[in-house]
Amino acid sequence: MTERTPPTRLLKNFRLVDGSAAEPRDGLQVLIEGDRIVQVAETAIEAPHAEVIDLGGRTLMPGLIDCHVHVIATTADLGANALLPDALVAARATPILKGMLERGFTTVRDVGGADRAIQQAVAEGYFVGPRLVICGKALSQTGGHNDYRGFFDERDDQYQTRRLGSMGRICDGVEAVRRAVRQEIKGGAQFIKVMANGGVSSPSDPIDFLSFSRAELETIVEEASNAQTYVSAHLYTDEAIRRAVEAGVRSLEHCNLITAETARFAAERGAMACPTLVTYERLKLEGAEYGLKPESVAKIDDVRLAGLESLVTMREAGLEMAYGTDLLGEMHPHQSDEFVIRAQVLPPHEVIRSATATAAKLLRMEGEVGCIAPGAYADLIVVDGNPLEDMRLLTGQGDHLALIMQGGRVIKERLSR
Ligand SMILES: [Zn+2]
């Protein structure tokens, strides 16, 4: 399925917006060879054999990065999703993946569910979708955020470990979590995800539950560090966030209820946050309709109402924020709405940076994705208009994108219209 090597291309006549500055940058040219950007210059690039692409004064941006997705979440009823046959989950994941790429997300980090097989199917071109960074199954304790069994379901707790439709797996105790991390790493996980706090979509864990003991969290971090990677944790409450940072967790998901003091502490320790406000807005509006259980609907406002304030708190504390969405099932088409939500309280270029350079930093892929620079993958989008002035240009289903390129391959092109 691998396509032939893309031709050499020269991009000109555009304004660059990459989130590094409050204003677009004019007068650049970009040379692409194969899957990489090879030259970015302020003067005309000599490339007589290159195919010249005139972007017509539009905005060139690095391909977007979403650091918190679940591509196997084909419905908001995650317990039901975990029981679906793998083939059906994979089939239903394909339009989810394609939709993300069409919205301009050329790289996404899956924080629970997607496995090496899905990742490879995308890399080999069988599935059309973003470059996938995976953690395999998220780790959850019994009764934690990935335990969907509820009060009266006594099934063996390992039933979901090997199901594609399950976001996570259950493990309890220091040696069990150690083994679970090693199994996920062996299976191709590039980082480790842990559910360290109660959650909305799970039946038996109120938001303020602390999940896993300190010793378990430290063991998970130790094993991830041994494998030269990091831990991402599902977190809402200040107490849970502080405890996770103390244990060495680097990627702090959600963070809706964080205080200024803990945000400063997290920043000092080199942690980064990944808020996902759009999911609570959509769950509030559509969750019940799309399968979210009533006990989960009742928990949404516990985290939703603090969302915008948490962004301001984290910015003032110097805690870097990457772009995340965490959408489930039919709600995936709202993936780009997070830009507009954040721009209510944050400067537009910082919101864009969350999905470019800051996201790349969180993924430890700086210089490879999230930038227009020599050596980076030729992952880019071209926008009709300036998203720094109107963030809605990034929303919808890629409606305002005139070009999407991933690894030098043209995914979409309507420059001539
Ligand atoms: Zn999530």
Q: What is the pLDDT of residues 299-314, one digit of tens each?
A: 898 899 899 999 999 9
Radius of gyration of the chain (CA): 21
Determine the distance separating the centroid of ligand 1 and the alpha carbon of 195, expressed in angstroms.
9
Strand-pair category, 380-383 with 51-62: antiparallel
Q: What angle do CA 126, 67, 264 make, to 5 degrees?
A: 165
Sign of CA dihedral 231, 233, 239, 242: positive
pLDDT digits (tens, 9 = 90+) for 332-389: 999 999 999 999 999 999 999 999 999 999 999 999 999 999 999 999 999 999 999 9
Predicted confidence at residue 5, as pLDDT, reads 67
pLDDT per position as a tens digit, 251-289: 999 999 999 999 999 999 999 999 999 999 999 999 888
Distance 212 CA to ligand 1 centre (A): 17
- 326 C-alpha to center of ligand 1: Å? 5
What one-character DSSP code corresponds to residue 286?
I
Q: Ligand 1 centre from 111 Cα, in Å? A: 6
What pLDDT is attached to residue 176? 98
Distance of CA 223 from the midpoint of ligand 1 (Å): 22
The answer, as to whether pTM is greater than 0.95, is yes
Distance 400 CA to ligand 1 centre (A): 27
Convert the pLDDT of each residue in 311-334 to its tens digit. 999 999 999 999 999 999 999 999
Residue 372: both structure tokens together: 């227009």
417 alpha carbon – ligand 1 mean position (Å): 38
Band of the pLDDT at 33, cuts 50, 70, 90?
A: very high
In the structure, what pLDDT confidence band is assigned to residue 417 with cuts at 50, 70 and 90? low
Over residues 74-101, the mean pLDDT reads 96
**Residue scoring higher pLDDT (296 or 175):** 175
pLDDT at 2: 45
Q: What is the mean pLDDT of residues 33-50?
A: 96
The answer to whether residue 4 scores a pLDDT higher than 90 is: no
CA of 233 to the centre of ligand 1 (A): 9
Q: Give me the mean pLDDT over the 35-50 stretch.
A: 95
Q: What angle do CA 198, 203, 204 make, to 5 degrees?
A: 60
Cα-based angle 279, 167, 176 (whole degrees, multiple of 5) = 130
SS3 category, 61: strand
What is the 6 CA–ligand 1 centroid distance (Å)? 35
Whole-angstrom Cα distance, residue 286 to residue 283? 5
Query: Does 416 score more than 90 pLDDT?
Result: no
Rounded distance, CA 183 to CA 227, Å?
Answer: 12
* d(CA 306, ligand 1 centre) in Å: 17
- The answer to whether 235 and 254 are in contact (CB under 8 A) is yes
Closest Cα partner for 202 from 137, 139, 148, 283? Answer: 148
Mean confidence (pLDDT) of the chain: 95
Distance between Cα 139 and ligand 1 center (Å):
12
Residue written as tokens 């205080």? Answer: 259
Q: Does residue 30 have a pLDDT over 60? A: yes
**Residue 294 pLDDT > 90, yes or no?**
no
CA 131 to chain centre: 11
What are 184-219's pLDDT values in tens digits?
999 999 999 999 999 888 888 889 999 999 999 999
- Ligand 1 centroid from CA 332, angstroms: 12
Residue 1 predicted with pLDDT over 50: no
Q: How far is the CA of 293 from the centre of ligand 1 (A)?
A: 17
